[in-house]
Homo-oligomer: A and B are copies of this chain.
Amino acid sequence: MTKFDEATQAIRIDEGVYDVCLDPGYSIGGPLNGGYLMAVLLRAAVDASPHAHPVSTAVQFLRAPRPGPAKVVVEPLKAGGTAAFARVRLVQDDVAQLESLVTTATLTDAEPIYADKSVIGMPDIAECSKLPDPKPESGMTLNAQLEMRFDPPTIGWLHGRPTGRPEARAYFRMAEPQDPDPFVLALAVDALPPVVFSAGQRGWAPTVDLTWHLRALPAPGWLTLLGSGRLVADGWFDEEVEVWDSAGRLVAQSRQLARVGRG
């Protein structure tokens, strides 16, 4: 069992009720990373489902839970042969922290009928850049769990040279060797720095809601994360992330609505 598997473990204590322990190693400077929290939720959702894979997850980030004990509560809404639907909540001290709707199904390795392969090209991994290590006092413990290599212009904002567009692109894998699975993908869709940093915005950019779809089971190896946004207005921005696997297949698609930081 990897550290990530352990940190996302959900132990069934009753029908639809799971004990979890939120790991301080997935913090982004105080709050825990949203992708990590989704992975925890989904461990319970999949365990409680007759199907194997979380094909659709829509989450509202109501509050920021603390590291430590929490519960996931799964309420099945409908289960059929093709898909099952559930309401899934992450609860701490009897207060809902995340509220979600999860659709589960069982994906196979069938060849696609249609696959759009048009994407923004990435430079070779050797030409990509790491982020500088965060200062210990920043509380950014998430970074140590991940290996990411960024398309250099998309982190130009680090040196005062944002591209002027909301975007972020990187290769991604877990620091501890682990083949990607749907739970790693839940982490991946929220692992990039906010795309608005590249549009010249800075500061804490909290996710308000995020929906992601699992489209195929990822092959072993590096994932590629392609992040972009269409509109930054009225204090809101959208962030779309596509995740491609090492076999060149689209494995996940996400969109989140988030607030522009004031920092």
Binding site for B on A (CB under 8 A): 55-56, 58, 60, 62-63, 77-78, 82-83, 85, 87, 96, 99-101, 103, 105, 107-108, 110-116, 164-166, 196, 199, 201, 208-209, 211, 213, 215-216, 229-238, 242, 250, 253, 255, 257, 259-260
Contact = CB atoms under 8 A, between A and B. Distances in A.
Contacts of A105: 236
25 contacts: A56-B257, A58-B101, A58-B211, A60-B85, A60-B101, A60-B103, A62-B78, A62-B85, A77-B99, A82-B259, A85-B99, A99-B101, A105-B236, A107-B234, A112-B232, A113-B233, A113-B260, A114-B164, A115-B230, A115-B231, A116-B229, A211-B255, A215-B236, A253-B255, A255-B255
B209 A103 contact: yes
- Consensus secondary structure, chain A interface: strand
A107 B87 CA distance: 28
A116 B231 contact: yes
Given A116-B229, A213-B257, 9 more contacts: A55-B236, A55-B257, A60-B103, A62-B78, A63-B78, A108-B234, A112-B234, A113-B232, A114-B196
